Structure 1
């Protein structure tokens, strides 16, 4: 076991004499010309860190680009401006396309047995407003946010206190900070690299004006009134929110910064002149000057993208839009690619083991019933009819691209066998039927399952139409109910949803060093056990504890993963959890390895033809570095 690991940012990229190159005036973006000419902004060599992160395009199989241009994309609501934080994917540490962790914002870091983490910042690194990014920004967040009972009444994120206590925090010098735990915390670095990352630093020079400790009462009251906040804590939280960047004045470290205050129908993100990455020729990233996000009804995003109104579209479109989008290549200067979805299952049926109906709750907790429902489904028919045979019939589990993949996980209880499904249901006590052939529950009611969906994809309803026929053959009646996502989740928490259709595992390509919490009841938005997940999330103050032995074991194994000191130990725990999860059919996976259409303007360069697509860990487009995308020439508009 390696007791100490050191990661240097430069080794992750290249070793070039950058400062001399960066001084070349040809490397300045034209977009910044007016600021530079008027002296409102320093030259590139002064804007960059002393040792910036050098992204070697040749090593990535890409071309060095040119500056300029705007990219249009369409979002479904104001909340979706968070996609820019995900796409930009600037993290203290982050994954590369091979899903290997490396320094990004950090110059380097060291770990000792996953208990002591020392972070070194880049000398001269600046926030987007030109102010220095130093250890003081970590100190502020630690002392005045995390340790503030007013701002953080819950005691801090679970990722910071996996064993109950917060770490020890030290500022070693202006560029070096350290976090230390008494027990291993293998989830610390992955949580910093996540799509919604753990926040441990903020722009202190800006945020102090909203903090009671640093601002006088009269001015703080005026700021609260100006920003429509009832309490100073609400004000600080609102102004500091970085994941959903609604505050245009908040300094950021991302490649693009929001310039539009909500509410608005269109949001403009412009290049961060102090971004810390450059290409091998000393050209500062991002190449693209602006992203323009236009809000539209989710129902017509695909139609708008196919009509040439988007230069880069990944969200709001689905596989069933592919034929239409591909046809748009004949009429508009766009290209459509297919990336492999990195989820455990593109669609999964999630029986609610926390149902408020005591009879159905007992029925669904019988593993024979869950296995029978899975085996009754003809996945081959679904694959051919909905995915044109391009997906893989599988349980809800990891993909072959994951080092944790084993064939027995993907094949668990997916063989289409109506006879065996009927036998399992009979053995579970559902052996009586009415005159229509529908099975009867122990209390005499018909076995009618209403599967609820958020209604965000017609693909879900297409799948459910087929499953309705499959289950009818084993005496189960299926009905579909559509509701909005917020209502959908609220009903699940209240136990009013019997079963839902949703995505499978978020991360279908994990490594042993990634947190296996998705396999255990850990979150309140896990539709198969929301109350158990809430109990874990709230550390026992809400929800109810799991009382199904296999679910209890999954939580216990997750705890063991959290103190495991080696990747080997963590891999063993992953395999045990994957075996339990698939054998117990806690999620009825159907098809994985499906394809996601990605539309781009034909002049948009450096976007991979094929890649993995998912929220976690690839951050949709994020690990493929959209800051390296560029426009070969000004994009013609339709």
Structure 2
């Protein structure tokens, strides 16, 4: 292969980093001075990698800060401590604010033909317990965890497969590893930058004490008893879980580390003494010393936020809380901003095409029915009543901020036209009605659509009440059923639901180089086709194979994207998939570009006044680097 044909991306930070560090020597934090004085912790110069990542805040239009302070945050359940992993956003490779990939934990990376990925680690980088972060952590995870059938009964995660085949893994030296596939794997780097990132390395020095091959059965048996699990694979899995950091002893590379063992009502996250980033003045990040995550009922988090009980809050708030929260600015030292949500639709209705009831399945699989359900919704009314007219009436599709946006995708079957909706339902074979004017299914039952919801948002409930009025006007009888999120997802997989309500596309601001998996049946939590998604992720072992042409075409296109070799191919695939989704209305969007309230202490600096909000790809606060937020006590 010639150099012209070879696609190579090389990202290097070392050359730029060295002069900056020389000009500004690292400064010790007050938080660690006692430990350093006692000799229980090295000085900051010896804790940083030889080539730290330098965050040049002035170039980003932000102010370099100072160390100190505690951020209070409210969470609705214990498992939401995962927000620290998402928001902390320490990744091997991550997105910047413009959604460009860049090395973060890695010093640099190279990729060739989307097949060969070489990663270079930062010399001197350490885990939060001070143990070296080297390629041994990658080797251990690959050889002793991922390819260990006792620990990975289902085999490798699909993010590590290309055309169903794993990579060749190589340790080049102490600071260099390489993954090589036989065919292109364009989604690999994106999987490392995601909110729930693909894991490639774990703290091997810590985890080996729970691996039977390293310490033997007797030692492992003692740990099994101590941690109250049944088997050593259960033990290893439980103690190595980093996405939801419930093990305070597990070393981390994140900016803050959990110090609290669950169960608890308050979780304390202290700064990581070995974190790899510094600002342009030589101050090791993060600026903030500590996060206190207080568990509270999700129903009252907005009230507590308005009462000044949090310093940084984004979750469990909704646009319906905005007026109340804004009034809190007069009573408490807080600022309230509005960020734009990135979902393809703030609220989407998802007809279950895998419904077990055949009459309902035929009804929901009829494209004219789905189109009728969509155009019967008065989106303008919903926008004005629930969003003050500030959202965008749209189908469930990408936003204008995405380079893939086309107006026709947003407008497809999103106009308000109840007359056409009635005509489509008649044309689809559902013209017969009972004495109450309700249309009938093919077996004579009234079309009483039960809409399943987790009931976690009053905004969602208000919108659904309007939708039910719109659908009654075309001869349907909708009902709302509230159940816990996990329960209605299980019911959908079992084929017991007809319609669910959730957000639309998770990532409504994709680029062509981001995976289009959300457009195709690729996951079992996609409520419009959970069994098809399960079939995909289990490689045919569970669920059901796709048996409709359009969803199968989406899956074929997704598979083609995963084998693509250039941007032009990916762009063509994305647009065909978006067009198929628009024409077939597999999810019924209502509005997107909705606004999300962000509340923070008026002393907390560098929190953007305007930004994009979402799980993917921005990782909530993640790409805006909360490790650079700092308290300005002069205010």
Alignment TM class, shorter chain as reference = over 0.9
Render the CA deviation track for 1:33-82: whole Å, top value 9, x for unaligned. Answer: 11111111111211111111000001111000000000000001110000
Residue 227 of structure 1 corresponds to which residue in structure 2? 227
Write out aligned runs for 1:297-312 (5 A): 297-312=297-312
The verdict on how the C-alpha distance between 1:7 and 1:628 changes in structure 2, with shifts beyond 3 A counting, is farther
Counterparts of 1:576 and 1:66, CA distance in 2 = 49
Shift of 1:634: 8.7
Write out aligned runs for 1:390-469 (5 A): 390-469=390-469
Render the CA deviation track for 1:370-426: whole Å, top value 9, x for unaligned. Answer: 000000000000000000000000000000000111111000001101111111000
Query: Is the 8 Å Cα contact of residues 17 and 52 (structure 2) preserved in structure 1?
Result: no
Residue 6 of structure 2 corresponds to which residue in structure 1? 3
Residue 475 of structure 2 corresponds to which residue in structure 1? 475
Query: Is the 8 Å Cα contact of residues 19 and 50 (structure 1) preserved in structure 2?
Result: no
Q: What are the ranges of 5 or more consecutive residues in structure 2 without an aligned counterpart?
A: none
Shift of 1:346: 0.2
Residue 542 of structure 1 corresponds to which residue in structure 2? 542
Q: What are the ranges of 5 or more consecutive residues in structure 1 without an aligned counterpart?
A: none
Query: Is the 8 Å Cα contact of residues 87 and 622 (structure 1) preserved in structure 2?
Result: yes
Residue 239 of structure 2 corresponds to which residue in structure 1? 239
The answer to whether 1:217 aligns with 2:217 is yes
Query: Is the 8 Å Cα contact of residues 6 and 108 (structure 1) preserved in structure 2?
Result: no
Shift of 1:5: 2.5
Write out aligned runs for 1:173-184 (5 A): 173-184=173-184
Shift of 1:576: 0.4
Query: Is the 8 Å Cα contact of residues 16 and 280 (structure 1) preserved in structure 2?
Result: no
Query: Is the 8 Å Cα contact of residues 432 and 439 (structure 1) preserved in structure 2?
Result: yes
The answer to whether 1:136 aligns with 2:139 is no
Counterparts of 1:2 and 1:397, CA distance in 2 = 34
Write out aligned runs for 1:253-332 (5 A): 253-332=253-332
Counterparts of 2:25 and 2:229, CA distance in 1 = 45
Query: Is the 8 Å Cα contact of residues 9 and 107 (structure 1) preserved in structure 2?
Result: yes
The answer to whether 1:563 aligns with 2:563 is yes
Residue 379 of structure 1 corresponds to which residue in structure 2? 379
Residue 617 of structure 1 corresponds to which residue in structure 2? 617
SS of 2:59's partner is coil
Render the CA deviation track for 1:267-298: whole Å, top value 9, x for unaligned. Answer: 00000011000001111000000000000011
Query: Is the 8 Å Cα contact of residues 87 and 620 (structure 1) preserved in structure 2?
Result: yes
Shift of 1:162: 3.1
Higher alpha-carbon deviation: 252-261 or 468-477: 468-477
Shift of 1:21: 4.7
SS of 2:478's partner is strand
Render the CA deviation track for 1:214-236: whole Å, top value 9, x for unaligned. Answer: 01222111111111111000000
SS of 1:353's partner is coil
Counterparts of 1:393 and 1:228, CA distance in 2 = 52
Higher alpha-carbon deviation: 516-525 or 437-446: 437-446
The verdict on how the C-alpha distance between 1:272 and 1:9 changes in structure 2, with shifts beyond 3 A counting, is farther
Counterparts of 1:623 and 1:229, CA distance in 2 = 36
Counterparts of 1:357 and 1:579, CA distance in 2 = 29
Shift of 1:435: 2.1
Residue 169 of structure 1 corresponds to which residue in structure 2? 169
Render the CA deviation track for 1:340-379: whole Å, top value 9, x for unaligned. Answer: 0000000000000011110010011010000000000000
Matched pairs, number: 632
Residue 79 of structure 1 corresponds to which residue in structure 2? 79
Shift of 1:472: 1.2
Counterparts of 1:632 and 1:9, CA distance in 2 = 33
Shift of 1:19: 4.0
Shift of 1:17: 2.0
Residue 188 of structure 1 corresponds to which residue in structure 2? 188
Shift of 1:488: 1.1
SS of 2:137's partner is helix
Residue 17 of structure 1 corresponds to which residue in structure 2? 19
Shift of 1:14: 4.9
Counterparts of 1:581 and 1:8, CA distance in 2 = 36
Shift of 1:4: 2.9
SS of 1:331's partner is coil
The answer to whether 1:531 aligns with 2:531 is yes
SS of 1:423's partner is helix
Counterparts of 1:295 and 1:164, CA distance in 2 = 41
Render the CA deviation track for 1:488-513: whole Å, top value 9, x for unaligned. Answer: 11111111111011100000000111
Shift of 1:23: 3.8
The verdict on how the C-alpha distance between 1:22 and 1:254 changes in structure 2, with shifts beyond 3 A counting, is farther
Counterparts of 1:538 and 1:183, CA distance in 2 = 21
Residue 515 of structure 1 corresponds to which residue in structure 2? 515
Counterparts of 1:532 and 1:317, CA distance in 2 = 33
TM-score computed with the length of structure 2 as normaliser? 0.98
Residue 608 of structure 2 corresponds to which residue in structure 1? 608
Counterparts of 2:427 and 2:5, CA distance in 1 = 51
SS of 1:554's partner is helix
Query: Is the 8 Å Cα contact of residues 14 and 56 (structure 1) preserved in structure 2?
Result: no
Shift of 1:438: 1.1
Counterparts of 1:458 and 1:358, CA distance in 2 = 33
SS of 1:179's partner is strand
Query: Is the 8 Å Cα contact of residues 18 and 51 (structure 2) preserved in structure 1?
Result: no
TM-score computed with the length of structure 1 as normaliser? 0.98
